[in-house]
Structure 1
Amino acid sequence: MNFNPADISESMRKRKRGNKIVPEPDWGPNNPNVTKFLPYHGAYIQLSENNTVACRNKSFANSITFSERPLQPGEIFLVEIEQNESGWSGHMRLGLTQLDPLEMYRRQSIPQYALPDLVDMGKSWIYGISKAHNNILEYMLDTRVLGVDQGYMYVKYGNRPEFNNYNSHIETCRGSVPVSLLKPTRGCDDILPTDMGSRIGVMYIPVDDKEAEMHYIINGVDMGTCAKHIPYKNTPLHVVVDVYGTTKKVRIIQLYHVSTLQAACRDVILHRMNKRDIPALPLPKLLKDYLQYGT
């Protein structure tokens, strides 16, 4: 590993206030490229870090959250599991809904559970994330070859994205996404989908001018079609994340904003070394805390 702690940007060392590192303004409220949770959610959800982190503060239910804005065709919504809580059964639920989150909030009708409650309300495609990486659902795969050009992959109607070592980026409707961001940080390659550090994403791909198919991306692997015949042009599709059961806290991984130097340094370091080795680095405690926890 060719990593020298002295190469960390001086800006990271200087951005301190009191005994805490002050993050650069990555997640400003007026930044249109930042992906957030909608501030209308289940009763036991607490949002933080400008609505990019969702944590269940009690029980195991009443923890449904929604994307702040509708998902676009081909756009990836990605979260990382930051904290689990033992003593419960089941795990995070993830999917899409055409129900209006704001209207549900106004009517106090956000259900306790995404499954089965929200699905039973109709116009929702949601599944539970399981420990079994390869058999979360019985998928119907479309493996037609994609066009690849200079390490970039292009998502086209009816195609299944292949996130492999030959593609450094995937082109989406909102811009180019490094494939490395879809994967866990170094040292977490063998984790289960439900483990801390796991990165779980959802997207939908139109197959014609009326219907789309929903895909999960789990730790950098596209799991194929898990829901078909979604009438994506009828009504906007919001992402649903139910922070359920053993899953206690999730963070949105920003795929489409322009990273600051501080955040970019952290990403590079975490992809080149095991996160468990950070405490042994010859760095100030504040920097090590930022590398480990992002705050």
Structure 2
Amino acid sequence: MFYDLIPHLINGVALGLLFALLALGFMLIIGVMEVINLAHGALFTLGAYGAVVMMAPDGGFPYEFMQPYYDLPAIPRYVIALIVGPLLAGVVGMGLEVCLRRTYGADPLYGLLLTFGAALVIEEVIRGIWGSSEYYLPTPKEISGGFIFGDLIYSTYRIYAAIFASVMIGMLWLFLNKTPYGAVIKAGAHDSEMVRALGYNLKVLRLLVFGFGAALAGVAGVIMAPIWGVRPVVGVDAVIPAFVVIVLGGVGSFWGAVSAGLMVGIVVALTAAFLTDWSLLSMYLLLLLVVTFRSRGLAGKASVLEA
């Protein structure tokens, strides 16, 4: 019985790590900006569409001038897609931060409404450019298909996605904890005025953090595109689990978010194996169970969002 569950557990770990990566970008923005960015899912979608343009010649509109590029091998194009997708999301995210500046210091509801409106705008722009049809992001044959281990078949791409997400999470932790730039970001999450008093430009810090968080959403969008498909509303499927992961792990806790992401991914995958219709509901039940006994999540501390 347990042997049969191994593929579902692997899928759950891969999904959980990707949820964690997406949630960490979300959490960075909440920590420094004190804004719940409801456009995070739309930025996730934008990253996926940016990758589609880099990988698929039929990605929504004619790219005849890019034909020499499409003649390149799949691996270099995929690496470029992993750069262009997050870069597109990051640039749009920084533009959104500029729009948000007039809401700083005001009622948080203004920022919430602005990001909600931005999500709708981005979604409609995506529809205007690429239409409402679903796209599939092709992956290089080296990381697609499956392999047999024993009597079970595993998805090669999901293994790759799990490894890539793990590396990204590790690099993010090293950046935040072992570099002076990461120290400034963490300080900004606790006391932005102190950061300003120390001589750092708070506007630039917020701009770069918002762009960085948006780029992480774009990375997750590129990696999850072959698993979920690419469509204008796929961001809704992403932002809700990301929010669940942040609350479940505890706002402001890095490893809490990673642990919560893994829990959510494994619970969703195992539930899908037996009760498909309950797979999404299972993460909400998990959240309800945890916050009933621990209101701040698994590793949460007092945060800027608390009254």
TM-score, normalized by the shorter chain, greater than 0.5:
no
Comparing both chains, which one has the higher relative contact order based on Cα–Cα distances under 8 Å and sequence gaps of 6 or more? 2
**Which structure dedicates a bigger proportion of its chain to strand?**
1
Q: State the TM-score, normalizing by the size of structure 2.
A: 0.28
Q: State the TM-score, normalizing by the size of structure 1.
A: 0.28
